[in-house]
Homo-oligomer: A and B are copies of this chain.
Amino acid sequence: MAVDVIVSEVGPRDGLQSIDQLLDLETKKRWITAEAAAGVTEIEVGSFVNYRLLPQMSDTAALVEHARQIEGLAVAVLVPNLRGASAAIEAGASKISIPVSASETHSLNNVRRTHAQMIDEVRNIRAAINQLPAAEQPYFEAGIATAFGCTLEGHVSLSTVQRLAEQLLEAGAEEVGLSDTTGFANPAMIKNRIRAVHNTVGRDKLTGVHLHNTRGLGLTNAFAALDEGITTLDSSLAGLGGCPFAPGASGNIVTEDLVFMLESMGLNTGIDIDALVAVRSILESALPAEPLYGFIPDASVPLGWSDIRAEHAVAN
């Protein structure tokens, strides 16, 4: 059965980058293997960044190599620049994402680059990818960070997001994503901005969003995004982590709860929710100091859940 929605697990990258304790390579591999076995088809395994700033990400190349061996798994990585993209290409990642902040203040604070400089970086990465044989080229996406507001600038205008989307695609990204880096979004804004960007660049050029749960609206915003045709949703097992560069922002959507919502609605994620919940034990053992979030691990799926799912399938 075809998957209706891709749940993209970002815990090994977005989750781990924001916690203090280093997770060892073997545990990361077990985590990735177990989630893939539960049915997750896309995992952001790490980022190619300055390891002195983020030592948690120093083993990303080894993780890519490991994850590539898992059949059917899209192996995504985050890169801040051409240097990172070159490392990602060398390691053999199947999907490369570069975050470009709609808030130029945030961009300057985070990676010390203006919009124009980031667009140049995208152009240079495109050129590097184009040197590869077509079959070896990774998918290249630009994630528009702070697309719904910024803890430094406050409101970020929709026209800035639309213009940046056009420029990033023109510079060679195959797709843009919208990221609520700071947890500022609400479901009306989600719908409004996705629709506006779709109108600007086309629906096939924006299929994924990255949402945070800072103000409790993570799943609601995900539902609103689905309603606008979004088909890839980022989340983190046990809600591990957040964005260390956005003060006060925290908390990815919990993968377990997201999968529960989607499957309850009769949407197929391809993921076995019990097997997914069982993966938490790896984090519990390896990161005993970290709080693990989520409702479904405690509440479990409701009695009669298969009837609930079937009801919606019929209703469609």
Interface residue ranges, A against B (CB under 8 Å): 149-151, 153-155, 158, 182-184, 186-189, 192, 213-217, 219-220, 222-224, 248, 254, 257, 260-261, 264-266, 294-296, 299, 302-304, 307-308, 311-312, 315
Contact = CB atoms under 8 A, between A and B. Distances in A.
A182 B254 CA distance: 21
Given A264-B189, A302-B182, A254 B216 contact: yes
Which residue, A183, A188, A303, has most C-beta atoms of chain B within 10 A? A188
Given A158-B311, A216-B254, A308-B149, A186 B299 contact: no
B261 A187 contact: yes
B188 A295 contact: no
Nearest to A152: B303
Contacts of A264: 186, 188-189, 217
Contact of A302 (B215, B223, B224): B215
Which residue, A158, A257, A304, has most C-beta atoms of chain B within 10 A? A304
Contacts of A188: 264-266, 312, 315
B261 A220 contact: yes
A214 B182 contact: no
A220 to B, nearest CB: 4
Contact of A248 (B254, B299, B307): B299
B186 A257 contact: no
A311 B158 CA distance: 9
A294 to B, nearest CB: 7
Contacts of A222: 220
A220 B312 CA distance: 16
21 contacts: A149-B303, A153-B303, A153-B304, A154-B307, A155-B303, A158-B311, A184-B302, A184-B304, A186-B265, A187-B265, A188-B264, A188-B265, A189-B264, A189-B308, A189-B311, A189-B312, A215-B257, A216-B257, A216-B295, A219-B219, A223-B223
